Structure 1
Amino acid sequence: MLKKFRELIQNRFFNRTKQLREQAFEIHDHVIQIEDDTYFIAKAMIPDIPDILNVERSVYEGQTPWDHAAFANELRRKFDRLYLVIRYHDRMLGFIGASFDDRTKTAHITNVAVVEDKQNRGIGSYLLKIMIGKAEFIGYKKLTLEVRKSNARAQALYLKLGFEKTGVKAHYYFGDHEDAIDMTLALTQKE
């Protein structure tokens, strides 16, 4: 009897979280305003990958830390991944990706990038706030990410949004083996 009761409770809890996640992942392509500019935001799709790679190249000195196959694998995982792209006219200016883990109630920013000539215009902050809002809507406890130790500008943005430095991953990044700073944002719990 206790086993059946426990299964019933677990099924209701996980089904509720699943329903909330599905609602949070619904993105209706739409026009948004950031500062004085109008942009188009949408859920990333497989045909967006070349543009996503171009954003990476513009940010990472011609390199693409993730390749086409890595992004394709992420975009196929519709159950626990959400990737968004932001465009100005037909030019992709940035993207953000996150994984969502119902077991730990943790969302993790896997990628966020904005082309260099459009940084410091609120685009990255906007994208991060969207993911924060989605994780809070689902009822998650925290949002995590890693950032290069040398990327002071990104660290400042994350700190401004309420993230805290919670650790270091030594030699984390492929290629140059730079350390990563772990950062965590405690999320507001839904009542």
Structure 2
Amino acid sequence: MFEKFKEWFATTGSPKRPCLDFTRRVVMISGHQYIVRMADDTDIDTMVTIEERIYGKAPWSYAAFRIELQRPHDRLYLVIEDDQQVVGFIGTAVDWYHYDLHITNVGITPSYQGKGIGTYLISTTKNYARHLKLHSMSLEVRVHNFSARKLYESLGFKDHHIKRRYYLDNHEDAVDMQANLLK
């Protein structure tokens, strides 16, 4: 039976998906010019450093980011630069089966927070998800991170359910939030 399955999968296989792609662009956010582009391996150290500045200890390791960037058919990571310095990033994962774009992480250097950069990155990936004809976006956020939850709600995300003891560092619950893209 296994041999028949291997033969079937070799001839039909899973659908071939194109690599996710994003064209580098210059954008204006709150009157300031930034460059948004796809992340690559040279950005990993900076993404880890941004997480360290935000959380004290980076939740994602160099290796975790590297693995994500090696999945071009279902992962899209964008960075945003100010004067050739990466100041923020967003990571997404496409769930082709459920037609969902999941935000895996968002990080903005603390001195750049509150300037609309996170909102821009989320809105950009939301438009990208629509371009891919996906039906929804999803993310998890710490239950006590009220400022992030408020931001996500302003961008159309709604509480879906609680994931108990989701975060490994302190076992805090997460709120699973979803945005419908079919509206």
Query: Same fold per TM (> 0.5)?
Result: yes
Q: Which residue of 1 aligns with 2:69?
A: 75
Q: Which residue of 1 aligns with 2:51?
A: 56
Whole-angstrom CA distance in 1 between matches of 2:161 and 2:63? 29
Whole-angstrom CA distance in 1 between matches of 2:125 and 2:23? 15
Q: Which residue of 1 aligns with 2:25?
A: 30
Q: Which residue of 1 aligns with 2:5?
A: none
Selected match of 2:156 from 141, 162, 175: 162
Matches within 5 A, 1:32-47: 32-47=27-42
Q: TM-score, structure 1 length as denominator?
A: 0.85
Q: Which amino acid aligns with 2:168?
A: F
How many pairs align? 170
Q: TM-score, structure 2 length as denominator?
A: 0.88
CA deviation profile, 1:29-68 (whole Å, cap 9, x unmatched):
22111111001111000110000011101111x2100100
SS at match of 2:94: strand
Structure 1 residue runs of 5 or longer lacking an equivalent are 1-10
Whole-angstrom CA distance in 2 between matches of 1:53 and 1:82? 17
Q: Which amino acid aligns with 1:142?
A: S
Detail structure 1 runs of 4+ shifted over 4 Å in the superposition. none
The 8 Å contact of residues 147 and 181 in structure 1, kept in 2 or not, is answered as: yes
Deviation at 1:160, TM superposition (A): 0.3
Whole-angstrom CA distance in 2 between matches of 1:141 and 1:188? 6
> Once the two structures are aligned, what percentage of the paired residues are identical?
36
Selected match of 2:125 from 131, 136, 140: 131
Whole-angstrom CA distance in 1 between matches of 2:84 and 2:133? 35
Matches within 5 A, 1:90-105: 90-105=84-99
Deviation at 1:91, TM superposition (A): 2.1
Whole-angstrom CA distance in 1 between matches of 2:153 and 2:69? 28
Deviation at 1:28, TM superposition (A): 2.1
Whole-angstrom CA distance in 1 between matches of 2:21 and 2:92? 14
Deviation at 1:174, TM superposition (A): 1.1
Q: Which residue of 2 aligns with 1:148?
A: 142
